[in-house]
Amino acid sequence: MAHIERRAAADLLRTAGPTMSLTEAATVLGIGRSTAYDLARRGEWPTSLLRLGRQYRVPTAQLTSLLEPGGAGAA
């Protein structure tokens, strides 16, 4: 099952436009929707966010960079 989820996350990144929804980005990161929205509301989401009305959009390039080896999320 986890293999299918990883493939779905990779497909989301590969097929995304310049931005994706916060829910899609949460899927890519392997976290739940509620956790993602909590992080966004607290200002702790790991990339910049675009706020369009009540909707959050995540820049795809920043999310991809975060996930790359040696990216912003590397320890």
Residue 69 lies in a domain: no
Q: What is the pLDDT of residue 72?
A: 64
pLDDT surpasses 80 at 71: no
Kindly state the tokens that stand for 18. Answer: 């310049």
- How much is the average pLDDT of 10-34? 91
- Asked, for residue 48, whether it belongs to a domain, the answer is yes
In sequence order, the 6+-apart residues with CB closer than 8 A to the CB of 21 are: 55, 56, 57, 58
| pLDDT over threshold 60, residue 73 | no
CATH classification at residue 17: 1.10.10
How many domains does the chain divide into?
Answer: 1
What was the pLDDT predicted at 74?
A: 52
Q: Is the pLDDT of residue 28 over 80?
A: yes
Query: Once rounded to an integer, what is the mean pLDDT over residues 59-73?
Result: 84
Q: Domain range for residue 17?
A: 2-63
Query: In the predicted model, what is the mean pLDDT of residues 37-56?
Result: 95
Question: In 3-state terms, what secondary structure has residue 2?
Answer: helix
